[in-house]
Structure 1
Amino acid sequence: MLDKFRIAKQPEVDLLTRMADAGTLPPPLEGPRPSFLDALTAPGLTVIAEYKRASPSKGDIALNLEPEDVARAYAEAGAGAISVLTETEYFKGDIAFLERMTAAGLPLLRKDFLVHPLQVRQTAATPASALLLIARMFPDAAALAAMKEQADAYGLDSVVEVFDENDLDMAKEINSTIIQVNNRDLDRLTTDLAISERLASRKDSGETWISASGMEAPEHLARMRSLGFDAVLVGTSLMRGGDPGRALATLTSEV
């Protein structure tokens, strides 16, 4: 699955390379960005609400919901941050959505399949406060560390995503501050919260952890909080009903 996403991103990397050679890459955004890490470490369990229009497993989810409206609804319903899917082919996202979702005032996470330093530079030119780095998309810890170091240099938080113990070893090797455990089986495209349960015991002091995928009921959030997670990322269950704000309020009503 990740190889398929990597192939889909190659035209973007090629375009960014041509732009870099021509000196036409947009400059990094100047001025402060809302702190993504601060949002995750606020008291209680932080919900990162996701703007997700489609996915390979669910197909089209909510193509009619505009990013501005969803961002406002999430902010009013108490989200601590917003994850914005920017991958175009399989998730029908757009990097322009980041700019369109700033009015809500929440930190934005660029969620995409980033494998090249120029994609970090591209992200730095947007209002995103953080970007996603999927550990197993890199050949080794050194390559992952290089991407994280570049993000640090631009003032972007790196969310390092792991699926299993080997991924987690890599994340810890590069001293990741924010670690996201994805509960999805990439081969079967199913979710199992037992993945977060299994890895939670390895959380160390100074790390901020997110559990992602499979969050569909208040008891799921309570379960993650009891395991020591600082935040959860919720997408499909909020978007599919057509009223993301109401769905978020319902999901968090008992947590």
Structure 2
Amino acid sequence: MSAPQASRPTVLDGIVAGVLEDLAARQTRLSESDLRAALADVPPARDPMPHFRGPGSSVIAEVKRKSPSKGDLADIPDPAALAKEYAAGGAAAISVLTEQRRFNGSLDDLRAVRAAVDTPLLRKDFIVTEYQLLEARAAGADLALLIVASLPGDELRRLHDSARELGLTVLVEVHDEAETERAVDLGAELIGVNARNLKTLAVDADTFGRLAPLVPADRVLVAESGITGPTDVQRFVDQGARAVLVGEALVKHGAPRDAVAAMTGLKAGKAEM
């Protein structure tokens, strides 16, 4: 019998490898102890959960220049200005992509948005170390994304606990049944169901409807990917979503404030106006 072949690296594997290289460079410029010291001057984190648990759909509006699946999406020379439009439209939170290689984001974008709005901010990145959580909090983030697929074994729980100790609300992202079970067993309060498989970049529009019944009713579900407007939001709300995370449709929209407002406040069973 021939020896089993090693599994081929996935898209997610490649992204995480690049993230770790860039992280190593940042760590040479700023030690973990200095980063922790900087937290002393950071105000307490804002809590987005009351808004997410409130009536009607909540929107996490994303500052996103490009993606591995779609390439360049929008020229965003002033992320703070875009964030102000999102906030004016009623966004419950604002997601800022900080990954550089595939998404053309940075921590500077997060800092600029923090200085411009009081809305809770999510650091959207491929977080695999505690140092990145410290960076997020020091830059003013109130939430951090943990992707189950990139955190094997006990790493998910370790980073989830570390994030909570820092005061961060954790959005735990899942893509399939096994990942959903891990998120639920973890006790994650905020669970994002991403219709895009980050290992292949394929999108399955039925992912949310398939996984939502596996999540206890006391958790808050966020629908991610493939959301183009209020009709999509209504469909996910009817399936149990309390919030939606939207990037491409908003950054490509000519009036992002109006686009956010149109996706906000939709109730289950309510026909779109």
Q: Same fold (TM over 0.5)?
A: yes
Please, which moves more after superposition, 194-203 or 182-191? 182-191
- Indicate conservation of the 8 Å contact 1:124/1:154, yes or no: yes
Are residues 1:2 and 2:6 paired?
Answer: no
Counterpart amino acid of residue 38 in structure 2:
P
Partner Cα separation in structure 1 for residue 76 and residue 109 of structure 2:
14
Give the aligned partner of residue 221 of structure 1: 233
Of 9, 14, 23, the match for 1:13: 23
Are residues 1:109 and 2:119 paired?
Answer: no
Are residues 1:123 and 2:105 paired?
Answer: no
- Counterpart of 2:181 in 1: which secondary structure? helix
- Indicate conservation of the 8 Å contact 1:241/1:247, yes or no: yes
Aligned pairs, number:
254
Partner Cα separation in structure 1 for residue 200 and residue 236 of structure 2:
23
User: For residues 202 and 22 of structure 1, do their structure 2 counterparts lie closer, same or farther at Cα, with a shift above 3 Å needed?
Assistant: closer
Partner Cα separation in structure 2 for residue 52 and residue 98 of structure 1:
11
The TM-score normalised by the length of structure 1 is 0.92
- Indicate conservation of the 8 Å contact 1:48/1:231, yes or no: yes
- CA deviation profile, 1:80-100 (whole Å, cap 9, x unmatched): 111110101110001111221
- Indicate conservation of the 8 Å contact 1:50/1:83, yes or no: yes
Give the aligned partner of residue 97 of structure 2: 85
Partner Cα separation in structure 2 for residue 215 and residue 161 of structure 1:
16
Partner Cα separation in structure 2 for residue 150 and residue 20 of structure 1:
20
User: For residues 16 and 196 of structure 1, do their structure 2 counterparts lie closer, same or farther at Cα, with a shift above 3 Å needed?
Assistant: same
User: For residues 23 and 250 of structure 1, do their structure 2 counterparts lie closer, same or farther at Cα, with a shift above 3 Å needed?
Assistant: closer
Q: CA RMSD in A?
A: 2.0
Q: How far did 1:39 drift?
A: 2.6
Counterpart amino acid of residue 147 in structure 1:
L
- Counterpart of 1:101 in 2: which secondary structure? helix
The TM-score normalised by the length of structure 2 is 0.86
Partner Cα separation in structure 1 for residue 86 and residue 203 of structure 2:
24
Partner Cα separation in structure 1 for residue 30 and residue 84 of structure 2:
35
- Counterpart of 1:88 in 2: which secondary structure? coil
Partner Cα separation in structure 1 for residue 202 and residue 252 of structure 2:
17
Larger Rg: 2
- Counterpart of 1:124 in 2: which secondary structure? helix
Q: How far did 1:12 drift?
A: 3.1
Partner Cα separation in structure 1 for residue 91 and residue 134 of structure 2:
27
Counterpart amino acid of residue 9 in structure 1:
V
Partner Cα separation in structure 1 for residue 32 and residue 176 of structure 2:
40
Of 69, 75, 85, the match for 1:57: 69
- Counterpart of 1:83 in 2: which secondary structure? strand
